[in-house]
Amino acid sequence: MLDAAVSDTCRKCMTQATLSLVKPELVLSLFGTCDQHLKLVREALDVSITHRDGEVQVIGDDAAVACATEVLEQLKSLVERRGSVDESDVARIIANIVGQDDREDHPTIDVIQVTRSIKPRSAGQARYIEAIRKHDVVFSLGPAGTGKTYLAVAMAVEALKNREIRKIVLVRPAVEAGESLGFLPGDLQAKINPYLRPLLDALHEMVDYDQIQRFMEQDVIEVVPLAYMRGRTLNSAFIILDEAQNSTVAQMKMFLTRMGEGSRIVVAGDTTQVDLPPHARSGLVDALARLRDIRGIAQVQLSKADIVRHRLVQDIVNAYEETPRGSSKKSRR
């Protein structure tokens, strides 16, 4: 991270932040040719930014310095993952930070309290957490590694811990991503377990194994295939549908109408990774269009900038979005 030491410099609410760069070789990529990126930040936020001997000083009023340092933090993180940033990245990050500042007077970072504190690691993730706190139904879209499922599970565990809900229901469509699981040994539960494993992996990072087992035995936590949701009404529950792009239109309608009093729903998916049979319409794509104007429902779009897995994940996503030479780019919705 950038190490920030902030001190008041005068009586006119002026603040100075000193930022130390961990890797000097990133300076050119971070600041841009002839400090073009710094110039954008200076002009947008009306701050003074200077760089000398690996340290960056930001001077301005309290709110502007807070925004500028957050912009530099996010740019630095992006440079470390991708190796470079361009002016469009700088403009987008500034817009995100200033937008947050305008809406809520630069609030402190929203922290999810489970067995440990979980903080959003990008502006998009912060908006996602905010949307879950403020809406009963949230649709989260984005590529792999953006924290769609992980943050939703964290919010569910926090709500259970705070007694805001009585149970957590984690749901996934049993749709195969190119492989056939029908030949796996075992009973039905053993066959569907691979579909549900990602949800359990997220849960195990926040709740110890024995506690999860007790919760599952007591029906406080359920991890079930989407087809098993038919005919149920869930009150005081936090319900998460993962890989929602692989639900059909009928399944999505069935799932959303399971919601009872005091319940919340998070629907997570990536509309570029549909594994349904040809010509079948994704229930996620359909729901986004049908429900976009309904009060109480939020849609959050996460992007490549929100990827927080291994640094190579973002490069892999970029590579697959490019059209290989000699082939045509196809997408199925």
Q: What is the pLDDT of residues 73-93, one digit of tens each?
A: 888 877 777 777 777 778 778
Q: Which structure tokens are listed for 265? A: 């729903």
How many CB atoms sit inside 10 A of residue 108's CB?
6
Residues in the chain: 333
Query: 3-state DSSP call for residue 37?
Result: helix
pLDDT, tens digit (0-9, with 9 covering 90-100), for 277-304: 888 899 999 999 999 889 999 999 998 8
Residue holding tokens 């749709």? 175
pLDDT confidence of 122, banded at 50, 70, 90? confident
Strands 3-8 and 14-20, bridge-based pairing: antiparallel
At residue 278, φ and ψ (nearest 5 deg) are -55, 140
pLDDT at 207 over 80: yes
Model pLDDT, residue 104:
44
* Statement: the pTM of the whole predicted model exceeds 0.85: no
How many CB atoms sit inside 10 A of residue 219's CB?
10
Q: Which structure tokens are listed for 47? A: 């701050």
List residues bridging with 48 in a β-sheet.
59
Question: Is 274 within 8 Å of 246 (Cβ atoms)?
Answer: yes
Q: Which structure tokens are listed for 140? A: 């989260």
Q: Which structure tokens are listed for 4? A: 């920030």
Q: What is the 3-state secondary structure (H, E, C) of 236-247?
A: CEEEEECCHHHC
Q: Which of 7-16, 53-62, 135-144, 167-176 holds the top average pLDDT?
A: 135-144
CA 287 to chain centre: 20
pLDDT confidence of 132, banded at 50, 70, 90? very high
195 vs 29: which has the higher pLDDT:
29
